[in-house]
Chain A
Amino acid sequence: MINLFSQGRRGCAAAAFSILMMPLGSQAGVYDLTVDNVIIDTGAFQKKGIGYNGASPGPVLRFTEGEDVTINVTNNLDEKTSIHWHGLVLPYQQDGVPTISYDGIKPGETFTYNFPIVQSGTYWFHSHSGFQEPDGAYGAIVIKSKKREPFRYARDYVVQLTDKHPHAGARIMRNLKTMPDYYSRQQQTLGDFFDDADKNGIGATLNDRMAWGDMRMMPADVEDLQGFTPLINGKAVEQNWTGLFKPGERVRLRFINSSAMAYFDIRIPGLKMTVVNADGNNVQPVKVDEFRIAVAETYDVIIQPEEDKAYTIFAASMGRSAYGRATLAPAEDMAADVPELGKRPLLTMADMGMDHGSMAGMDHSKMTGMDDPKMAGMDHSKMAGMGAKPDPFYAPGSGLMPKAENGGKFLSYADLKAQKPLYKFRKATREIELRLTGNMERYIWSINGKKYEDEEEVRLKFGERVRFKFVNETMMTHPMHLHGMWSILDTGAGKWNPIKHTVSIAPGTTVYTETEVDAPGQWAFHCHLSYHAASGMFRRVVVEGSPNLAQLEKTD
């Protein structure tokens, strides 16, 4: 400063100018990340993998809303890498997807990302190159809000889940291509046949097996990839990640599912959770006993443990083939009982989309408020003493219908309402249908029957509001993720529709999201199941036009 002033009036002016140019209260944080080869130790096995700053999971990056961040990423691998900031709104060149945002980061190179933080909440980051993400390249992002948040808590923890597999990602892809049920070890066996025959009779069981056999599909095919070890914050069940609390405190848990393929059903026996944030956006608080977190989603919950004892955070994989466990306790080295995993779910014919009468259900733009006869649960005379309403985001009769283990409330997308809508509520300017398709036998996953390399871009115009209609014609659940722009999930709540970046589409269902196209450039849009994205369930989205152009068009 002194030097500037001593350079005379010019220097003085320059100094004054630069002070004036700095937005009041803005920070300009500089963060350094290295991408390294690491060893991941799950206790059960050790595996070479990829990590950040020498570890997997990578560090928790802490930003502040309004900050201008500079992130220097140094690639210490022998192959190209990239980092995508999942859920962040930023200029497309900073989005980190090779061939769409940039070229990737070469071995030995340091790439500098630079962008302003325009949001707050819980997010994550991961490699978008090869199978580096399943091999361990992921970390968390926590962004402090510049305004007071609509909920209070004394402390918070990142609870980041992954499905670590003893095989490397590239090998898993190859095996799935050669033999799609390579990793399915929960298939129906002779023993199952006899159990079912006992329950339902041989005739019915034979009919059932033959109905599926005709389609050459397996009802046990809930998880493509089994044999993984769930990790919470990098720790397996035995390693027991522990978060401390003082009894009576409110604690915020930032759940992030950074898995390659696994969905988890999360509960904390003995504690109810109040969901206050989903995919980084605040939602009107809803109290639940259990929730399902899809791959790439985040959910922030507030809990208030009153007793001076340990609680178990239990994460059961959706296919019930494995579970992760962490502990919340008043002191270290404590543990609570770990619940049983439960029976594996089986898909039903409803998940095959066979029940066409129910497919019409979710188009709320055509529904007229409360008079709609399709909206189940509004008949009050029957409400007393009724069990939980079935989740409308699953096919009626679906084998994946979530049910809280303790009989309590299981979170549904229908429960999510934005705390503060980001956009004015208006009608969509056009609708784009995206059929989620695939061929399990060949392990080909696609959109509208076409894979990524068959070059069908999605072209959007800056300023429009697009309504995406996802029709899931497969029997798998797909978490669809659009980069760079928010996906407003149509839950029938009108202006309160929740704002997400990753939307899970259950088998045999149709789900609508709307996007205000306000980010110029080109963006990735794909199923976030790693091996589905790699086998073709991926699209490039090109946004034509820009703010300036839109302005000109408006004034014409």
Chain B
Amino acid sequence: MINMNKLAKAISISAFSTVIMLGATQTWAAGSHSGSHGAKASIGEPGKAGKATRTIEVKMFDNYFEPESFAVKEGETIRFVVKNDGEFVHEFGIGTTASHAAHQKEMMMMMEHGALEADKINHKMMKMDMGGGKMMGHSDPNSVLLEPGKSGEVIWKFSKANAIEFACNVPGHYEAGMMGHVRFKGQLGTGS
């Protein structure tokens, strides 16, 4: 008798790892931001609200996060309640150093085009179609871009331990230190 659970697990693991490999190559290719979900597989995946095991409150200031780092368990889904308590626009995004670097280039472009200013977001310009299939705009599940005083939410599942950072990719903020590391402590289901 085939153990359906085990089979399901095996299939999903192999599918998962294939997707991860595809995703990894996507990331190295530094493709378009609004690209495949494969790119995000290495950093986890959008979580489902119901599955969130805990809530982490993230406050954004000029130019730093509070807390400056946090720990998660592999497989855990976390709901981040993000509040911008600073006077400038900030982002809370989950990714790797490489994905953040790519995102910084895009945010630089948004700033040059006037879609993004130091202390406000020009929502109309954000929706502009830049032609060639590229969209401006900031609507990815792994990050939230907030004007001063606003709040937002990111629900994320940290599927696998990896070198994951959370960061603000508004031009200059990452270099000024507005980033932190996600520490992995054990696996979901195990005690602590």
Contact = CB atoms under 8 A, between A and B. Distances in A.
Given A419-B62, A496-B118, A380 B113 contact: yes
B172 interface: yes
A150 B62 contact: yes
B153 interface: no
Contacts of B67: none
Interface of chain B, main secondary structure: loop
B140 interface: no
B118 A287 contact: no
Contact of B176 (A148, A152, A417, A496): A152
A3 B118 CA distance: 57
A287 B112 CA distance: 14
B35 interface: no
A94 B68 CA distance: 42
B32 to A, nearest CB: 15
A436 to B, nearest CB: 32
Nearest to A250: B177
A274 interface: yes
B64 A274 contact: no
Contacts of B88: 284
Interface in A485-509: 496
Given A151-B63, A287-B171, A420 B87 contact: yes
Interface string A270-289: 00101010000000111100
A286 B114 contact: no
Interface in B128-179: 171-173, 175-177
Contacts of B63: 150-151, 285
A10 B98 CA distance: 69
Contact of A417 (B64, B118, B173, B177): B118
Contacts of B62: 150, 419-420
B178 to A, nearest CB: 8
A425 B112 CA distance: 23
Contact of A370 (B87, B114, B171): B114
Interface in A194-242: none
Contacts of B171: 285-287
A284 B87 contact: no
Contacts of A274: 172, 175-176
B3 to A, nearest CB: 46
B64 A150 contact: yes
Contact of B118 (A148, A152, A284, A380): A284
Nearest to B176: A151
Given A284-B172, A287-B171, A148 B64 contact: yes
Question: What's the interface size class on B, roughly?
Answer: 10 to 19
Given A150-B63, A151-B63, A419-B62, A287 B172 contact: yes
Contacts of B172: 274, 276, 284-287
A287 B175 contact: yes
Contacts of A448: none
A304 interface: yes
A474 B92 CA distance: 49
B64 A152 contact: yes
Contacts of A151: 63-64, 176-177
Nearest to B173: A285
A45 to B, nearest CB: 40
A287 B118 CA distance: 15
A168 to B, nearest CB: 43
Residue among A150, A274, A276, A370 with most chain B CB within 10 A: A150
B176 A150 contact: yes
B188 to A, nearest CB: 29
Contacts of A285: 63, 171-173, 175-176
Contacts of B61: 148, 150
A153 interface: yes
B170 to A, nearest CB: 9
A272 B175 CA distance: 10
B166 to A, nearest CB: 14
Nearest to B177: A152
Interface string A411-443: 000000101100000000000000000000000
Contacts of A287: 171-172, 175
Interface in A263-310: 272, 274, 276, 284-287, 302, 304
Interface string A362-380: 0000000010000000001
A274 B179 CA distance: 15
Interface in B60-101: 61-64, 87-88
Nearest to A287: B175
A494 to B, nearest CB: 10
A250 B180 CA distance: 13
B152 to A, nearest CB: 21
Interface in B3-28: none
Contacts of B64: 148, 150-152
Task: Give the top 3 A-B pairs by smallest Cβ distance, nearest first.
Answer: A285-B172, A152-B177, A274-B175
Interface of A: 148, 150-153, 250, 272, 274, 276, 284-287, 302, 304, 370, 380, 383, 417, 419-420, 496
18 contacts: A148-B64, A150-B61, A150-B64, A150-B176, A153-B177, A250-B177, A272-B175, A284-B118, A284-B172, A285-B172, A285-B176, A286-B172, A287-B172, A287-B175, A304-B175, A383-B112, A417-B118, A420-B62
Interface of B: 61-64, 87-88, 112-114, 118, 171-173, 175-177
